[in-house]
Structure 1
Amino acid sequence: MAAAVGIIATFFFFVLPIVKLVLLSIQGEQGFSLNYYAELLQQERFWRTIKYTFVIVTGSTLLSVILGMTAAWLMAYTDLSHKKWLHLLMLLCFVLPSYVLTLSWSSFMSPQGWMAVLLQWFSPGTKPWSMYSVGGIIFVMGIHHFPLVYLFTVNVLRKIPRDLEWAASTGGAGRWKTFARITMPLALPGVTAGGLLVFLASLDNFGIPAFLGAPVNISVLSTLIYEEIIGFGPSAFGRGASLSVILGLIAVLGTLLQWLSVRKSKQAESLRPDEEPRYSLGKHRYWVNPVLWGGLMFITIIPLFSMISLSLKKSYGGKGISNLTLDNYRYILLDNPSTWKSILNSLMLSMTTLIVCLIIGTLFAYFRVRRPSKINRLAELAISVPYTLPGIVFALSMILVWMEPIPGWNPGIYGTTTILFIAYVCRFLILQIRAGVTAFAQVDASMEEAARISGAGAWRRWRKILLPLLLPGLLSGALLVFLTALTELTVSALLYSSGSQTIGVAIFGFEQAGNTLYSTALSSLIVILIFAGAGLLGLLQKFTFRKGVQS
């Protein structure tokens, strides 16, 4: 009975929305029709959007691969100092929401930004490069996603047996020849997996092209779908569904390729990572270290402080101490009830999503590891679909299924926090499941079996044995769910209405209305919330780890 309920729930929440989306895209007035696709293929705007999407996604992926591989090689192979802090600084690029990083760079490179001031000092008359361009979108996407390539590659590099490289060197191969013939071929599966993940993340990204591309009529597939749906034309949902199917198919193909790459990179998973440096930078260390630190500070910390400084100004172009004020923060926190409501909505949604995903994800992971079956594997595959698909595609599918989930019944939750909550749980549940599967795989089943033989009931086994050992890993997944839900924009942009807007939607609204001072102020508060939430869960994770060790 429980299995049947689980299968029905999995189909209803995770599969049915996608089925409805596909059916709408091939539905005409008299039944089956491909008219929506035919209309799209005849539109110049569609092909222009495809071109922009291809150029931006490809360009940002290449930039991420170059930056990620370089950083991974330096971290894995050389004797850089303070690697732990460099690692955290690299991750900061990805932890920050894409729209916060976008606002940071747009304020930094604005005509009144810090870069303009620096250029006036060193090269009077030179203007900063405009971020509102294809190049600007590629740059911000590239620096936002390069940690994904870095994380995949650095682990693979550390598992390459150094004996192979020593043998090549002994045979007369120089450093570059050894890298080209030994290191690169062995690291290629990890680099490819990271690059494909960046490709998918860039394809899914809505915030960066919406903030930097929309003002200058640069559309990608994700923003074009959004524009079609909010246009509310006679066939807006049909065209949006057709675009979503096209975008979804590209994403699914990319996911399959990424999965194959990950499988190849796991061939060396049994090898232990070699943390010892393989090359000494020698005298070059004195300039490589500052350049790497300076580069990371330049792409994250400095633009972030530029955005914060802009949020403290009375007017956008004003200079001097007399132009400093806290009025922007006072407005968004005290004078604008809808902004405060958006903060509360995001906190409430992220916390409830965390709790539900933690409970359901942990239970599912338990059965996935301890009682593996074909049904469990298929259920996991179905649950991963909402996260695999671009957020804008999943959001549209949620609209279609929840406007009338059962023929003749409209629950009336579209535009409420309820549909946002359902969407968040469906989209982010797989993150908790993956964390739970990893945690359970590290706990020997014999410990649980010994407790059962000793007479311990199910609850006691969980409370005394499993939870103390699992909590650190489970809380890592919970932290990821919390931060992702807290800063979510793509899904919320289509599902919200008045009274249910989130922080990301509020910032997007301020920016669309030209209220940059308010959007930067709210973005600055998001950064504080992110660090506070990460710090709180980090302390909780340390506490549970110590408790688990003591028990």
Structure 2
Amino acid sequence: MWRRIGGEGLTLAGLSLAAAGLFLLPLGRLFWTGLAEGGAPIGEALSSDQVRRALWHSLDSAGTSAFCALLLGTTLALVLGLTNIRAKGLFVFLLLLPMMIPPHVTAISWIQALGQSSPVLSLVGLAPPVGAAHPLYSRGGVILLLTIQHTPLVFLVVLAALRGLPREMSEAARIAGGRPFRLLTRIMLPLLAPTLVAGVALAFVSALGNFGIPALLGIPGRFITLPVLIWRRLAGFGPSVLTDVAVLAMGLALVAVLAVILQTWLQRKVRAGMTGPPQPALRIDLGRTRPLWEAGLAIFVAATLVMPLTSLVGTALVATYGIPLSLSTMTFDNFAEVLFRQSAPIRAFGNSTLIAGLAALTLAALSALVAYFAGRRGSTGRRLGGVVTALADVSYAIPGLVISVAFILIYIRPIPGTGISLYNTLTLIWLAYLTAYFSVALKPVSAAAGQLDPSLDDAARVSGAGFARRIARIHLPLLAPAAASGAILVFLTAYNEITVSALLWSRGNETIGTTIFNYEDGGYTTLAAAMSTITVMATVLLMALLDRLGRHLPPGVVPWRL
């Protein structure tokens, strides 16, 4: 009995406690606080013109940008997934790169690319005149950058779906003389309808909780969204600030959950039955127009990636923002400032590396255990694994700022009976990362675990191997590549984020995202550009590492490897 409790039983108990602590406790406390006093704070929030306007701005920007991202991402996926475009792997890598660049870095790079002191526009004489309002400080600017930020999400979802479609109907239509446009509208898009619904829902939820872009563009443009209003309210303190913030965060969470529920309902309505196993996608020959399509893709990459990043680097290489970049004005002093002289950015790089790395390793281990139990047949572990997976998916759909508020509500006071306070510590940010990114780590591990033969575990059990031995000698080695892939994805996401840590950081516990945001918000544009450039370089190197790892992983684990 004690041996069993010390093995599977103890592990199941530990996973149950982890699920309760990471998902049920913080979100439950959030809703309890929001519903305090008989729901009176909710009525006060709904009667506020500022709250209603911020909610509408959030729905407007998220909905419009999600629809635009759907059109753009689907088009890119169809072109790269169904045609004989050359250099597909490179194009997919470059198109997915904006998704890994932090939203606030995206905003800073575009502000500098289209501003009066733009290094790129100044070279060609197209910089806006002095005194002109910045074109991105508006509703349109927020929607444009949210579209660019989340187009890769839709692109990735649709591209993955194209790999899994059977080809029989498409081949039959082509043999019958169906042209590509008719093939697309009558066969491909109806089959992809559930995927398109998932893509637009993912883009909507991601845009709904985005903080960096609406904060840097919306505040000067007087286009305040709900996440920005939450940040402002919490920064303003006051006697009822926690209750007010909890109500706003609860509203944001409810919108996100309703979006996921609507997505599930729509997917069931538009689902089309398919027969036949997944096969390689079609390869439509573009003929003489192939160079034009490739040139169009290159122009799109240059406009959405190369131009803003070039402006970002150009701003980082001048002493003062606004000075034209030339050999005589170029300096590396800003990089030296953030890397060697100032303490805050150095701490931020160390803090982000530490907590993102710990979160990645912790989630890799937890994901392997959850995937193991979820794959068991007819057991308590299978039910627990399913519950944890569902809770992780729901938490991923909830904006990171809401998760931050939930953890503040729990840990703003010392832990009862211990006197230990986690508020304003890196530990609290680490716990919030575990909640926010559990689903990111779990997806590839669950996919890999689903391909394992259950007879391996049965044979080891019959041979007398205990739980720990089966996990260490059979399952972990087989799941290690997928767990490593999920861990790197978690690290890439957490290393640069600002949405979760925006409300949890404090002096001495800065992260990369909060430090860059504070530099830009405080007017230190060149330092923000230098630190952003270093962050982008680190992101590209980490993605290259994941790409190299992908050579030894099953197809589809690394999304841009075709």
> TM (normalized to structure 1)?
0.90
One-letter code of the match for 1:309?
G
Equivalent of 2:459, from 450, 459, 471? 450
Q: Which has the higher contact order (CA 8 A, sep 6+)?
A: 2
Which residue does 1:112 correspond to in 2?
117
Superposed CA deviations along residues 485-531 of structure 1, whole A, max 9, x for unmatched, are 11121111101111101000100110110111111100111112223
Distance 1:39 1:126 in 2: 40
Which residue does 1:398 correspond to in 2?
407
Which residue does 1:521 correspond to in 2?
530
**1:179 CA drift (Å):** 2.7
Partner of 1:285: helix, strand, or coil?
helix
CA contact under 8 A between 2:519 and 2:527: conserved in structure 1? yes
Equivalent of 2:373, from 362, 367, 375? 367
Distance 1:176 1:265 in 2: 22
Partner of 2:501: helix, strand, or coil?
helix
CA contact under 8 A between 2:31 and 2:250: conserved in structure 1? yes
CA contact under 8 A between 1:153 and 1:191: conserved in structure 2? yes
Residue 351 of structure 1 pairs with residue 357 of structure 2:
yes
Superposed CA deviations along residues 242-271 of structure 1, whole A, max 9, x for unmatched, are 111111111011122334566776955963
Residue 65 of structure 1 pairs with residue 70 of structure 2:
yes
CA contact under 8 A between 1:362 and 1:432: conserved in structure 2? no
One-letter code of the match for 1:330?
A
Question: In terms of mean alpha carbon deviation, does 485-494 or 429-438 score higher?
Answer: 429-438
Superposed CA deviations along residues 65-108 of structure 1, whole A, max 9, x for unmatched, are 11111111111222211111111111112121212222221111
Q: Unmatched 5+ residue regions in structure 2?
A: 555-562
Equivalent of 1:147, from 149, 152, 167? 152
CA contact under 8 A between 1:200 and 1:251: conserved in structure 2? yes
CA 1:124 to 1:330, structure 2 compared with 1: closer, same or farther past 3 Å?
Answer: closer
Superposed CA deviations along residues 124-156 of structure 1, whole A, max 9, x for unmatched, are 999796122111111111111111211222333
CA contact under 8 A between 1:229 and 1:240: conserved in structure 2? yes
Distance 1:155 1:355 in 2: 26
Superposed CA deviations along residues 389-419 of structure 1, whole A, max 9, x for unmatched, are 1111110000011124765765221011111
Distance 1:22 1:407 in 2: 21
Report how many residues are paired.
Answer: 540
Superposed CA deviations along residues 141-176 of structure 1, whole A, max 9, x for unmatched, are 111111121122233345444443455566675543
Residue 327 of structure 1 pairs with residue 333 of structure 2:
yes
CA contact under 8 A between 2:112 and 2:315: conserved in structure 1? yes
Residue 103 of structure 1 pairs with residue 112 of structure 2:
no
**1:34 CA drift (Å):** 2.6
CA contact under 8 A between 1:353 and 1:425: conserved in structure 2? yes
Distance 1:121 1:244 in 2: 42
Q: Unmatched 5+ residue regions in structure 1?
A: 546-551
Q: Which has the higher helix share?
A: 1
**1:4 CA drift (Å):** 4.3
Residue 440 of structure 1 pairs with residue 449 of structure 2:
yes
CA contact under 8 A between 2:139 and 2:221: conserved in structure 1? no
CA 1:541 to 1:466, structure 2 compared with 1: closer, same or farther past 3 Å?
Answer: farther
Which residue does 2:390 correspond to in 1?
381
CA contact under 8 A between 2:190 and 2:272: conserved in structure 1? no
Aligned ranges 1:283-294 → 2 under 5 Å = 283-294=288-299
Distance 2:133 2:76 in 1: 27
Partner of 2:318: helix, strand, or coil?
coil
Which residue does 2:494 correspond to in 1?
485
Superposed CA deviations along residues 447-487 of structure 1, whole A, max 9, x for unmatched, are 34334545656555545543343222111111111111111
> TM (normalized to structure 2)?
0.89
CA contact under 8 A between 2:165 and 2:278: conserved in structure 1? no
Superposed CA deviations along residues 259-291 of structure 1, whole A, max 9, x for unmatched, are 4566776955963232341x3212211211111
Equivalent of 1:271, from 271, 277, 281? 277
Residue 304 of structure 1 pairs with residue 313 of structure 2:
no
Aligned ranges 1:395-544 → 2 under 5 Å = 395-404=404-413, 411-454=420-463, 461-536=470-545, 538-539=547-548
CA contact under 8 A between 2:117 and 2:127: conserved in structure 1? no
One-letter code of the match for 2:430?
F
Which residue does 1:211 correspond to in 2?
216
CA contact under 8 A between 1:403 and 1:410: conserved in structure 2? no
Distance 2:456 2:272 in 1: 28
Distance 2:388 2:433 in 1: 18
Which residue does 1:548 correspond to in 2?
none
